[in-house]
Amino acid sequence: MVERIDSRPRSSTTTTAFVATLKRELILAYKRKHDVVNPFMFFLIVATLFPIGISPEPERLSLIAAGALWIAALLASLLAMDNLYRADYEDGSLEQMLLSPQPLYFMVLAKNIGHWLVSGLPVVLVSPLIAYMLSLPEGSYMTLFLTLLMGTPVLSLLGSIGVALTVGLGSRGLILAVITLPMSVPVLIAGTMAVTETQNGASLAGYLAIMGALLLGTLTLAPLASAAALRISVS
Amino acid sequence: MWTWFHQLGSPKWFYELTGRWLPWLVAAMSLLLLVGIVWALLFVPPDYQQGNTIRIMYIHVPFASISLAFFPLMAIAGTVTLVWKIKLADMIAKTAAPLGAWFTALALASGSIWGSDIWGTWWIWDGRLTSMLLQLFLLIGVISLRSALEDTDAAAKACAVLSIVGCINVFVIKYSVDWWNTLHQPASPITTSGEGPNGPEIWVPLVIMIFAIYLFFAVALILSTRNEILQRERRAQWVQDLVRTA
């Protein structure tokens, strides 16, 4: 490991590294707008395919609306994940991050948060509109919005492990899906159940608690696995 | 303790030790399989509800119970690979993944055949079935990651990380799917613990079959790990001597 020449206390340098990585991620996203727009468009298009593929009748659509939105969000998140480390891997900045004396955990976390802010958050924000177009039953909008808000970061954090493991591979689209999608099942279950069960009169708090537990669990553990996977992939 | 640990990590030592064990394991496995299958197929009384279909249980339950062991096994082997960099652990992890996929697929297939008769359908989205299917997908993910990475060392570590993550995930999936299922489908048509209230004429052959399939698993794992050892250590002196004398 590189020795720290800096004499400032460690915590402040860790915070600096975290903020710098986050800022860099956001600036890069701003410079490459198509990377931000593509997953978002993908989400809209997949959501459009459901009424065409299943049925345009509002009664039938309202039954599948929550699930369709969740699956569209899941696929959009998977598609967006590919950008997370690839460019950094190709231009060598990932290697610099690995060499830096700051803990990789926080830089991975910052990259994940930055990535979610530009790829996950737009999907969450537009979801009520799409939900309306898919005739989601009245009164479920808040549930859907809140669960997506808490669930999409989990999808990003889990996907980050898969991307980190496969970042060195040439063609990895399919393998990433095979690794990541089965892991996303608990979030999908919690998210869609929250919507359907609150329609039946169950309280929202319990589902939000489970979602929060999944979020906190992955927020603390997934960057550890991602960091370990990055060290393996870049060696 | 540490010399023992390092000795265990030596592929050569493992190869010689298992070479001595294998005849005994195979003999015990064959005996138990023979007794178990003959007993289960010919002598177990037909179930009062399920008739002769109950005999599928003697294949299904052993396979299903052992396929749950694969992710913990791979996670432990992966941890050993990451922490102590013992090659043997990775060889076991590598051979365990396809075996696990086969065992899981067989558990699903035998369960499906059983279900086609008893439930009247080959597939339902029951919690247990769904979590097994997802475990199969996760195992296939580990296998395809292994085959995609060309460098043996990197593949070993990457698969170790994925196995550890997958092991945690399998448990979360198991609980979430059960929870999903129990709210939607309260009564499961049958339970695998159906043999509980029945007499020993039902469960003794089941126990024999479980031991037989566990031995089958051990033999299959040892055989494929031995192949892997020969493959990876092909440049070692002892392997070349072995090939020359054979």
**What are the residue ranges spanned by the domains of chain B?**
21-41+53-232
**pTM of the predicted model as reported, rounded to 2 decimal places:** 0.86
Measure the CA angle with vertex B160, ends B158 and B166; round to 5°: 100
Mean pLDDT for A52-77 is: 90
Q: What residues make up the domain containing A165?
A: 10-233
- Tens of pLDDT, residue by residue over B81-116, are 999 888 899 999 999 999 999 999 999 999 888 888
> How many other CB atoms are there within 10 angstroms of residue B220's CB atom?
16
* Residue B144 sits at the chain A interface (C-beta within 8 Å): yes
Supply the mean pLDDT for chain A.
Answer: 88
Bigger pLDDT: B3 or A50? Answer: A50
Question: How far apart (Å, rounded) are the C-alpha atoms in residues B150 and B148?
Answer: 6
Give the CB-side neighbour count of residue B66, counting CA atoms within 13 A. Answer: 26
Q: Find which of A183, A195, A198 to mutate to test the B interface (most B CBs within 10 Å of its CB).
A: A183
Whether residue A175 is predicted with pLDDT greater than 80 in this model: the reply is yes
Q: Is residue A204 part of a domain?
A: yes
Which of chain B's residues have a Cβ under 8 Å away from the Cβ of A214? 172
Q: Is residue A151 part of a domain?
A: yes
Do residue B183 and residue A175 have CB atoms under 8 angstroms apart? no
- Closest to B135 in 3D by CA, of B93, B103, B88: B103
> How many other CB atoms are there within 10 angstroms of residue B152's CB atom?
12
- Tens of pLDDT, residue by residue over B182-201, are 654 444 444 444 444 566 77
- Tens of pLDDT, residue by residue over B15-66, are 888 999 999 999 999 999 999 999 988 888 877 777 788 888 888 989 988 9
Question: How far apart (Å, rounded) are the C-alpha atoms in residues B167 and B79?
Answer: 12
Its sign, for the CA torsion A87, A92, A94, A96, is: negative
Reported as a pLDDT band with limits 50, 70 and 90, residue B135 is very high
Domain total for chain A?
Answer: 1
Counting one residue from chain A and one from chain B, the pairs whose CB atoms sit within 8 A come to 70
